[in-house]
A = this chain, B = another copy of it.
Amino acid sequence: MYTVCVRDHFMIAHSFRGETFGPAQRLHGATYVVDLELRRPDLDCDGVVADIGQLGDCLRAVLDELNYRDLDALPEFAGRNTTTEFLAREIHDRVAARIANGRLGPNAAGLTAMRVTLRESHVAWASYEGPLP
Protein backbone atom coordinates (compact mmCIF):
# COMPACT_ATOMS: atom_id res chain seq x y z
CA MET A 1 0.00 0.00 0.00
CA TYR A 2 1.27 3.46 -0.96
CA THR A 3 0.66 6.59 1.14
CA VAL A 4 1.38 10.23 0.41
CA CYS A 5 1.10 13.00 3.02
CA VAL A 6 1.07 16.80 2.99
CA ARG A 7 1.19 19.10 6.05
CA ASP A 8 -0.41 22.50 6.71
CA HIS A 9 -2.00 24.29 9.71
CA PHE A 10 -4.87 26.46 10.95
CA MET A 11 -5.58 28.51 14.09
CA ILE A 12 -8.97 28.76 15.79
CA ALA A 13 -10.84 29.76 18.97
CA HIS A 14 -13.40 27.53 20.66
CA SER A 15 -14.66 26.22 24.03
CA PHE A 16 -15.93 22.85 25.21
CA ARG A 17 -19.07 21.86 27.13
CA GLY A 18 -18.91 19.14 29.77
CA GLU A 19 -17.26 18.90 33.20
CA THR A 20 -14.70 16.46 31.88
CA PHE A 21 -13.04 19.35 30.00
CA GLY A 22 -12.22 21.33 33.16
CA PRO A 23 -10.60 24.70 32.29
CA ALA A 24 -11.01 23.96 28.57
CA GLN A 25 -14.68 24.88 29.09
CA ARG A 26 -13.46 28.49 28.93
CA LEU A 27 -13.00 30.23 25.58
CA HIS A 28 -9.47 29.41 24.41
CA GLY A 29 -7.87 28.34 21.11
CA ALA A 30 -5.43 26.12 19.29
CA THR A 31 -3.01 25.81 16.43
CA TYR A 32 -3.65 22.54 14.61
CA VAL A 33 -0.84 21.22 12.44
CA VAL A 34 -2.64 18.97 9.93
CA ASP A 35 -1.24 15.89 8.20
CA LEU A 36 -3.39 14.67 5.30
CA GLU A 37 -2.56 11.15 4.11
CA LEU A 38 -4.01 9.42 1.05
CA ARG A 39 -3.59 5.70 0.28
CA ARG A 40 -3.86 3.55 -2.82
CA PRO A 41 -2.61 0.05 -3.68
CA ASP A 42 -1.02 1.08 -7.01
CA LEU A 43 0.45 4.30 -8.34
CA ASP A 44 -1.27 6.30 -11.09
CA CYS A 45 0.15 6.74 -14.60
CA ASP A 46 2.43 9.59 -13.42
CA GLY A 47 3.91 7.37 -10.73
CA VAL A 48 2.26 9.10 -7.77
CA VAL A 49 -0.53 8.53 -5.24
CA ALA A 50 -1.76 12.06 -5.94
CA ASP A 51 -0.16 15.30 -7.08
CA ILE A 52 1.04 16.91 -3.85
CA GLY A 53 0.65 20.40 -5.33
CA GLN A 54 -3.04 19.81 -6.03
CA LEU A 55 -3.44 17.96 -2.74
CA GLY A 56 -1.88 20.81 -0.78
CA ASP A 57 -4.17 23.32 -2.52
CA CYS A 58 -7.19 21.15 -1.70
CA LEU A 59 -6.23 20.90 1.97
CA ARG A 60 -5.51 24.64 2.12
CA ALA A 61 -8.97 25.42 0.70
CA VAL A 62 -10.64 23.29 3.38
CA LEU A 63 -8.54 24.77 6.19
CA ASP A 64 -9.33 28.31 4.98
CA GLU A 65 -12.98 27.63 5.81
CA LEU A 66 -11.95 27.23 9.47
CA ASN A 67 -8.78 29.33 9.79
CA TYR A 68 -8.87 32.41 12.04
CA ARG A 69 -12.41 31.55 13.16
CA ASP A 70 -14.23 31.20 16.47
CA LEU A 71 -15.70 27.74 15.97
CA ASP A 72 -18.31 28.42 18.67
CA ALA A 73 -19.84 30.99 16.28
CA LEU A 74 -20.08 28.75 13.19
CA PRO A 75 -23.64 27.46 12.60
CA GLU A 76 -22.44 24.10 11.29
CA PHE A 77 -20.89 23.28 14.67
CA ALA A 78 -23.79 24.46 16.87
CA GLY A 79 -24.25 22.13 19.84
CA ARG A 80 -21.07 20.17 19.08
CA ASN A 81 -17.76 19.94 20.92
CA THR A 82 -15.17 20.78 18.27
CA THR A 83 -12.57 18.46 19.77
CA THR A 84 -9.38 17.52 17.95
CA GLU A 85 -10.90 14.15 17.04
CA PHE A 86 -14.11 15.77 15.78
CA LEU A 87 -12.20 18.26 13.64
CA ALA A 88 -10.03 15.50 12.16
CA ARG A 89 -13.20 13.77 10.96
CA GLU A 90 -14.70 17.04 9.72
CA ILE A 91 -11.63 17.84 7.61
CA HIS A 92 -11.54 14.24 6.36
CA ASP A 93 -15.12 14.51 5.13
CA ARG A 94 -14.64 17.94 3.54
CA VAL A 95 -11.55 16.82 1.63
CA ALA A 96 -13.28 13.57 0.61
CA ALA A 97 -16.20 15.58 -0.81
CA ARG A 98 -13.82 17.69 -2.88
CA ILE A 99 -12.06 14.60 -4.19
CA ALA A 100 -15.45 13.09 -5.10
CA ASN A 101 -16.16 16.33 -6.98
CA GLY A 102 -13.03 15.85 -9.09
CA ARG A 103 -10.78 18.30 -7.28
CA LEU A 104 -7.75 15.96 -7.66
CA GLY A 105 -8.61 14.92 -11.22
CA PRO A 106 -9.73 11.58 -12.65
CA ASN A 107 -6.72 9.62 -11.39
CA ALA A 108 -8.06 10.05 -7.86
CA ALA A 109 -10.47 7.20 -8.59
CA GLY A 110 -7.72 4.84 -7.47
CA LEU A 111 -7.55 6.28 -3.92
CA THR A 112 -8.84 3.91 -1.26
CA ALA A 113 -8.41 5.62 2.13
CA MET A 114 -7.63 8.94 3.81
CA ARG A 115 -6.23 9.76 7.24
CA VAL A 116 -6.28 13.24 8.79
CA THR A 117 -4.13 13.92 11.85
CA LEU A 118 -4.34 17.14 13.91
CA ARG A 119 -1.39 17.92 16.19
CA GLU A 120 -2.58 20.32 18.89
CA SER A 121 0.75 20.56 20.76
CA HIS A 122 4.13 18.82 21.03
CA VAL A 123 2.52 16.25 23.36
CA ALA A 124 -0.96 15.51 21.94
CA TRP A 125 -2.61 14.71 18.61
CA ALA A 126 -5.69 12.96 17.22
CA SER A 127 -6.64 11.50 13.85
CA TYR A 128 -9.49 10.02 11.83
CA GLU A 129 -9.04 7.43 9.09
CA GLY A 130 -11.81 6.27 6.76
CA PRO A 131 -12.24 4.68 3.34
CA LEU A 132 -12.72 6.67 0.14
CA PRO A 133 -15.60 5.47 -2.03
Is A94's beta carbon under 8 Å from chain B?
Answer: no
Give the docked Cα–Cα distance between A30 and B47 (Å): 17
Chain A residues 1 to 50 lying within 8 A of chain B, measured CB to CB, are 1-9, 11-14, 16, 18, 20-24, 26-33, 43, 46-49
Task: Pick from B28, B83, B88: contact of A11, CB below 8 A.
Answer: B28
Whether A33 lies near B122 (C-beta < 8 A) is: yes
User: Interface size (A, Cβ < 8 Å)?
Assistant: 62
Shortest Cβ distance from A107 into B: residue = B20
Give the docked Cα–Cα distance between A127 and B69 (Å): 25
Q: Which residues of the partner chain B approach A30 to less than 8 Å between Cβ atoms?
A: 11, 29-31
| Chain B nearest Cβ from A73, distance in angstroms | 8
Whether A43 lies near B86 (C-beta < 8 A) is: yes
Binary per-residue interface labels of chain A (73-85) against chain B in the complex, 1 for a CB within 8 Å, 0 otherwise: 1000000111111
If the complex has contacts A1-B128, A13-B29, A30-B29, are A123 and B68 also in contact, measured as CB distance less than 8 A? no
Give the docked Cα–Cα distance between A85 and B47 (Å): 7
A interface list, Cβ under 8 A from B:
1-9, 11-14, 16, 18, 20-24, 26-33, 43, 46-49, 51-53, 56, 67-70, 73, 80-86, 88-89, 120-130
